[in-house]
Every structure is written in C-alpha cells, then in structure tokens.
Amino acid sequence: MTMMMAAFLVLAILLLLLFLLCFPRQFKPHLHIPSLHGKHVLITGGSSGIGLALAHHCLLQGSYVTLIARNADRLSQAAQSLVHGNLSTSASGVNGHSAQYSKDRILLKAADVSDAAAMSNAIAESFSWRPIDVLVCNAGTSVNGLFDDMKISDLETVTRINLLGCVYTIYAALPLMKARSKRHPSSIVIVSSLSGLLFVYGANMYSATKHALKGLAEVLRFELLSDNIKVSLVCPGFTETPLLDLADKHVIEGNKIFFYDRDYAEAAKVVAAKTMEGVKQGKFLITTSAAGLMVRILARGFTPAESLSDALLEIFLLVPLRVATHVWFPFAKRLIKKQQKQGLNFKE
C-alpha cells in the first residue's frame, strides 16, 4: 500500500514536471487586473457583510463602487459608514475601520437581484456612471431546515435570490462589459460558498444553489475566454456577518455535522481581501481558509490548479484527503442517523 502510494506520488511529480516543460506559461504568475485603482466594482448585496467588506477593500485600493441591495435605508447607512469611516462589526460583519472615502466614489442602487427588469435598469444606470470593470454577484440568503419541512415559497426564494439573482445580474451586465473588455481586462466574481463544494446538512436549497453557481461559473469561464473577462468563483466558509444570525436561529441542537461554530467564523474583511487578491490574479476557484483549501482540493473537479504551489500542494494532499473522507463519511452518517432517531430537528 505504502509502496503504491509512493509510486503514485513519484509518477504525479514526473507528470507535473513534464507538463511544466511543455506548458511553462501555464504557471507563470500573471496579474489579470494589476491594480484596482480607478476601477469600477459593482457589488450586489453591498450593504452588509461580505459585500460591504468588499466595498471597503476596493475603496481602500482607490476603486469606484456601486452597491446594490433591496433596502435603500440600509444602503444609505452602509455608504455613510464608508464615508465616515465607522464600520462596526455588529451591524455589518466588518471590523471597525478609520479610513474615510469621498461619497463621489460610491453609487447606490436599490434593486432586488431576483427581479430581472430591475437589475437590467440598475446595471445600465451604474454602467452609465462608469463602465464596470469587476462585477461581483454576492447577494445571497438562506432558509435552513430539513427539505420536506420547508415551505415551497422558501425553496423558491432561496433559488430566486442565490441562483437567478446571479444569472440576471450577469445577463444584464455582460453585453456592456463585452463591448470594452478586449481593451480593459474585466472580471465576473460569483460568490458561492464552501457549501457549494460539499453538502451542508440542513442548508438544502442554499447548498443546491451554491453548487449550481459552480456550474454557471465553469460554463461562463470558457464562454468568455476570448472576451478577456475572467470568471472567479469564491467559496468562503462560515463568515462573521448578519447572515449567521439565520444559521444561529436554525442550527440543529447538538449538531456536529454542520461544522458550525460562530466563534471560528472567518472575518468578512479577510474574506474580502483574499477574494480581491484572487480576482486580480484572475483565479477561477478562490477559497479563503485552511478548511477551504482542503475542500477545494477534494471538490475542484476538472479545473486544474492555478499556480505551481497549488499544484504541488494538491498532488501531496489529494490522496491523504481522499483517505480521510473514508474515515469521515461513516462517522458523519452515524451522527446524522443518531440525530434523526432522537428526533433532533431544527429549532424554530
């Protein structure tokens, strides 16, 4: 067994070296967008959490931002907090910051991503303010529970916002972005989740829509190859934002499968910084934590690693991680069955 694994590793390394010799450009560090300074970044779900942290990060780099969300008051409050430099963790999921930005660099649009016509208008208006360089589809929501306990309307809401909201946003922006992207490298950023790469028990439609976003991102990535528009799929783990209040409400009592522990949630500003770093590099699959790295290796699928260090890491970790799934899976099944026997369901 050990001999076989060693032989496999040696073979993998030899294949990688051969690949490097044949396609050296594949692993050359290359910045798709060298700087965010002066770029226009449109962020859906920009009034809170990860979206607001992305706005803060981009403004700090000298970008212009359009923030889209449904609630106009919360959008104004978010813009005020950016302008006056008083973002607070409790309201936004972003640690406090003291930088202040001119309000001329921020455009607010109240619109619902699940309304195709509203998104078409909002994006056209944003584009006429400044051409969009980076389009971030970040708005999202979750209704947690066991599948057959959920209302049809909840299943539909999550699908409309998480999946169709992203589809409508890209559909409205793409023709406008394509018209200039050959001369101006552009990016589409789709915010999925680690639950878009592995199942999360109790987050059925959330997990399903986030998986669907991976499919959408893969297709678009190839469709837009000759348009100079890179597609990035961002998969953060649990992140300290108001969205976790929903998880708190619905977390299963005693549940260990969910891996949910708010104390270990990632900080929104770290997720934002890692996201934009990956976008600048034109990376396709962006994870933001150590757990994310492991899941990314297991669930990457057809997409190859995007840097030499990633490729080497994957080659060394793939087999041990695959073995680990054989230990973890029966454990997970036992735990879920036990919970189901005890009738431990979701809190109301």
Applying CB under 6 A, which of residues 114, 186, 275, 289 lies at the interface with ligand NAP?
Answer: 114
Report in angstroms how near the CB of residue 305 gets to ligand NAP at its nearest.
22
Applying the rule CB under 6 A, the residues between 182 and 201 that interact with ligand NAP are 191, 193
Residue with tokens 């101006």: 184
Residue 50 binds to ligand NAP (criterion: CB under 6 A): yes
The full DSSP string for 245-281 is HHHHHHPBTT--TT---GGGPEEHHHHHHHHHHHHHH
CB proximity list for 57: less than 8 A, separation 6 or greater:
269, 272, 273, 276
For the beta sheet containing 229-235, the strands, ordered from the edge strand earlier in sequence to the opposite edge, are 106-110, 64-69, 40-44, 134-137, 186-191, 229-235, 285-287
Applying CB under 6 A, which of residues 181, 241, 275, 281 lies at the interface with ligand NAP?
Answer: 241
Cα–Cα distances in angstroms (integers) from residue 265 to residues 21, 186, 238, in the given order: 41, 30, 5
98 in active site: no
* Residue whose CB is less far from ligand NAP, 197 or 315: 197
Candidates 22-30, 40-48, 222-230, 335-343; binding stretch for ligand NAP (CB under 6 A): 40-48
Burial of 123 (0-12, 13-18, 19+ CB in 10 A): buried
Residue 45 binds to ligand NAP (criterion: CB under 6 A): yes
Residue 140 binds to ligand NAP (criterion: CB under 6 A): yes
Cβ neighbours around 86 below 10 Å, total: 13
Name the active-site residue from 210, 214, 230, 283.
Answer: 210
Report in angstroms how near the CB of residue 218 gets to ligand NAP at its nearest.
18
Applying CB under 6 A, which of residues 40, 47, 177, 233 lies at the interface with ligand NAP?
Answer: 47
206 in active site: yes
Candidates 94-102, 237-245, 303-311, 327-335; binding stretch for ligand NAP (CB under 6 A): 237-245
- CA dihedral angle for residue 166, residue 162, residue 82, residue 173, rounded to 10 degrees: 10
Length of the chain: 348
Name the active-site residue from 206, 207, 232, 274.
Answer: 206
Count, residues near ligand NAP per rule CB under 6 A:
31
Name the active-site residue from 181, 192, 232, 289.
Answer: 192
101 in active site: no
Q: What single DSSP character describes residue 93? A: S
* Residue whose CB is less far from ligand NAP, 72 or 99: 72
Please report which helix (H) or strand (E) contains residue 285, including its range. Answer: strand 285-287
Residue 141 binds to ligand NAP (criterion: CB under 6 A): yes
Applying CB under 6 A, which of residues 238, 251, 260, 296 lies at the interface with ligand NAP?
Answer: 238
Query: Nearest Cα to 195, choosing from 238, 155, 162?
Result: 238
| DSSP helix/strand/coil, 309 | helix
Residue 161 binds to ligand NAP (criterion: CB under 6 A): yes
Residue 207 binds to ligand NAP (criterion: CB under 6 A): no
Burial of 196 (0-12, 13-18, 19+ CB in 10 A): buried
Report in angstroms how near the CB of residue 19 gets to ligand NAP at its nearest.
32
Binding site for ligand NAP (CB under 6 A): 44-45, 47-51, 68-71, 74, 93, 112-114, 138-141, 161, 165, 191, 193, 236, 238-239, 241-244
- Residues marked active site are found at 192, 206, 210
